[in-house]
Amino acid sequence: MALRKDNTNIAEDLKRRIRVLCWVMTSPQNLHVKTIHIKHTWAKRCNVVLYISSTTDKSFPTVGLNVSEGRQHLTEKTMQAFKYIYDNHYNDADWFMKADDDTYVILENLRYFLTSQSPKDPVYFGHHFGRYLKQGYLSGGAGYVLSKEALRRLIQKGNNTKICNNVGENEDLEIGRCMENIGVKIGNSSDSLGRTRFHCFTPELHLSGDYPSWFYRFDAFHGKNKGIDGISDYAISFHYVKPNHMYDLEFYVYHLRPYGVTSGHQNLNQPAH
């Protein structure tokens, strides 16, 4: 039986026009337990992909930074990763996506969303928490994407320890504090119906809405969203995805089709909704 040949012209055109560098935060102990499955699934759709660890592994390959492993070093590891990207890959992309090694990302939907955004704006997008800071901050696990201008400001201004804290275990909060201090805004990533695109948990948990109590306290914006009507049809990311479920999502997103039903094509001259 011949394999189905999808028409990917629109997705391929977006990949050429909207260049996304993905970097995955990982560690030596997770490399062949978690990260290898990202490499075999969604990461191949990035324009550039980097695996950031504390040890260089040329066969994978990983970029080894001079940072100790452990939660208490996550902020330092993140800041050094963005510095490495700025020094070595700034001109290779227009958007820079950070993800954990248990995050699943649908790159086509990310690029579609970014068609209505400008990399020249000081902005970053992700799942918005409304605690601790005036503008809140973005969940690290759900992944977040920086514009080219946001990355430039982060590196050129964020190396001042009076402005940005370069150490600590709460990476997403400290990055959020730094962004607020350097004038990088949190952009609205919900669709026109208020549905979420970046997700802190698995698809199953967001569908059931059986969230932990802390989530309602932190997510002041979309915490009550749940079920099919709460998740955007063009969702971008999910977190806490187990290695075997990476392949489940690959199948559901890229292979499973209901016979006789054709999904509507979006007009790329209109803003992503």
Q: Report pLDDT digits (tens) over 140-159.
A: 999 999 999 999 999 999 98
Q: What is the pLDDT of residue 2?
A: 47
pLDDT tens digit sequence for 34-87: 999 999 999 999 999 999 999 999 999 999 998 888 777 899 999 999 999 999
What tens digit of pLDDT does each residue of 241-271 get? 999 999 999 999 999 989 988 776 655 555 5
Which domains does the chain possess? 13-189 (3.90.550.50)
For residue 53, the model assigns a pLDDT of: 95
**What is the reported pLDDT for 219?**
86
In a 10 Å sphere around its CB, with 0-12 CB exposed, 13-18 middle and 19+ buried, how is residue 261 labelled? exposed
Predicted TM-score (pTM) of this structure: 0.92
Task: Give the mean pLDDT of the chain.
Answer: 92
The whole-number pLDDT of residue 65 equals 94
Please state, for a pLDDT cut of 90, what percent of the chain lies above it: 77
